Amino acid sequence: MSEVPLELVVDRVRSRGATTRVTRVSMTGAEHADDTGSRKAFVLVGGVGVAATYFEFLAPTLAERGDVYALDLPGFAGLPRPGVQPTAVFFAEQVAAVLDHYGLDDPVVIGHSMGTQVVTELLISRPGITEAVLVSPVINDRERALPVQALRFAQSASRETLHLALTAVSAYVLCGLVYFLTVLPHMMRYRIVDRVALVPARLLFIRGQFDTTSPRRFHLRLAKAARSASTWEIEGAAHSVINAHAVGVAKLTLGFVDGELARRGQMSSEEADLPEPVGGGLPLVLKAMGSRAAEWVSALRRDERGVARAKAQHAKLLWQAYAPRRG
């Protein structure tokens, strides 16, 4: 693993008595900069109950263009629950504290699912941030009832892989049912269509073709409400497009940042899918499961050093498996 040009550091940032875990992913060596020499910082914010593990493929891909900061929000991924109401505004303040800690004035902020609500509030409070990507935004204001949303989530989840299901379930267990149910009402009540109209930044909305929680018409209304927005869809993808089709999300994000992306379009599943891993099969699966299990147990025990070791092991394993066949 010494040949892997990937550097991963796990930090914690405290603000208002709450803790956010930050997984910083970067590439070592100048040869990993893009052709233009342009470097950006990317900040990744996940959905309700989930952890930065959802960005296991997206983070190293974006790291070839700039440092990546993947966040575990307070109360998620084994972190202590905050003593205040977990609203989108509260989580946005925690993300802002991370930006201040690292001196990030204008990063590209990427939110997924409930993370899009958090990013929206961040953008309203930080007008200096000029570009953001909202992937699988929620909640569709025309289907706000909880039973309907539960049905839509189940419909989308039926399109997901076993790997994603296990990743989500393990994260939900660390979050805990009580805290999940504490956050859920705030997510359900959030009116993203109204709030996105106050965002000064350029926005890119991305959805999966089969994401019933974030339907196409909802995206079009979001884009219409926003001051400047592009909308893209990835074929064959569902709600967890951020993981299963991370290559496509990265390509769309970088095209958007470079000003080369059309305002509306659709990407094929073949272009967006992860490549077949090198040396895949059962050995790779077992190693990946082992590193993820080690991270999960360490988070459960509040062993931050163990979390960092397991994250680094997993990231380098995936890099060796997928990097030779990307592009």
Can you spell out the DSSP letters for 5-52?
Answer: -EEEEEEEEEETTEEEEEEEEEE-SGGGS-TT-----EEEE--TT--G
Domain ranges for the chain, please list them. 6-275
Q: What are the pLDDT tens digits along the chain (327 aa)?
A: 446 788 899 999 999 899 999 999 998 764 444 444 467 899 999 999 888 989 999 999 999 899 999 999 999 999 999 999 999 999 999 999 999 999 999 999 999 999 999 999 999 999 999 999 999 999 999 998 999 999 999 999 888 888 788 888 888 888 999 999 999 999 999 999 999 999 999 999 999 999 999 999 999 999 999 999 999 999 999 999 999 899 999 999 999 999 999 999 999 999 998 887 776 667 777 888 888 889 889 988 889 999 989 888 888 888 777 764 554
Please tell me the predicted confidence (pLDDT) of residue 3. 67
Residue found by looking up tokens 């927005």 in the block: 229
Please tell me the predicted confidence (pLDDT) of residue 34. 46
CATH code: domain 6-275 is: 3.40.50.1820
pTM of the model as a whole? 0.92
Q: Please give the C-alpha separations between residue 71 and each of 12, 96, 140, in angstroms, as whole numbers.
A: 10, 12, 24
Please tell me the predicted confidence (pLDDT) of residue 38. 63
Please tell me the predicted confidence (pLDDT) of residue 36. 46
Element (H, E) at 135: strand 131-135
134, 149, 125, 137: which is closest to 44 by C-alpha? 134
Please tell me the predicted confidence (pLDDT) of residue 306. 93
Please tell me the predicted confidence (pLDDT) of residue 282. 72
Q: Tell me the C-alpha distance between 28 and 198, whole Å.
A: 38
